[in-house]
A and B are shown apart, each in its own frame.
Chain A
Amino acid sequence: MKVITANFVTCAVKECKTTATSFPLHFHDAELELQEVDFQPEFIRNVIPRIDWEGLRTTANELGFPSLPETKPEGDELTNEQTLKDLHRLLLETQVMEGKLVCGTCGHAYAIKEGIANFLLPSHLGKFRIEFRS
């Protein structure tokens, strides 16, 4: 799973989607791999406004990357090829091959195997959650 995807994915449980802690999902025991992808400055420029920078900083931190700048690069900074290349490397070329994604609200762990995240929910979570009070 690419880091860019991790910046968009949320917990699949319906009740969690509305809570603030369901995003970003936290990586646990992540094994990384670098896969070369063609550099596309245009795509990076297109997608940057939609990136949640705080979330990306958290993710990068968890994966052990040097900390990112405090604020999202904007305007002129996006014409700087080196900035775009760094972002490209982090967002598109860094792949999480094995590990877990854990939701900060419900604690559900989504397993990642061979780069594929398992977002299938057990049927009681996929629909409505019924809680019994004792």
Chain B
Amino acid sequence: MSEENIISVHNLSKVFGDFTAVNTISFDVKKGEIFGFLGANGAGKTTAMKMLIGISKPSSGDAIVAGFDVKTQSEMVKKSIGYMSQKFSMYDDLTIKENITFFGGIYGLSKVQIKEKTKKLIEELQLEAVASKLVGSLPLGWKQKLAFSVALLHEPKIVFLDEPTGGVDPITRRQFWEMIYAEAHKGTTLFVTTHYMDEAEYCDRVSIMVEGKIEALDTPKNLKKQYNVDSMNAVFLKLARNIE
């Protein structure tokens, strides 16, 4: 982890009609950091994330992602990041190889590169036996691991992971996090949302959003100290109670 900021958000807001989904949030994410982005449903996490990945225009404020302004250079932002979500990750009716080729193609990889990467990726995930099977037939855990690798195909500087481990069994969840660690180790920045509070502990720093605002942002250790509790779950509960 270096001191260089790869995401820099300043007073970012998003307003839908008379509803403020994201209310002047500001934070920085450092290069190579695993940044946990937590909050209840409807707290504005997804809206904020959409602005950062360049698919939703901010109502006001600024955000620089990988050196590009999300307002004016959203195409460049999209090129420098990877994205994976629980809801959509890959095409169920394409095989593993076809999915990799397709996503490699849309990120502008050459044929040779795609071929090399496909081989490497399938080896790493030990998917040789099922490489020609439809993604839809894979267990959820495998699918998510594969989707994560695919999001990394074009070697993005930042990867956004939207609830990547929802519903996944405990062992696969941990294997997934080991992949995240390994990627962070290579210098990639990981921006992660999750509902599992134990996973919040795995992050270098965590922000907690409540009703459109970031109410807490620090390392898990400091947050626990600050709220004088022993788990992130308790931090979350205390924080919500304070707001109410």
Chains A and B come from one and the same complex: no
- B interface list, Cβ under 8 A from A: none
Residues of A within 8 A of B (CB): none
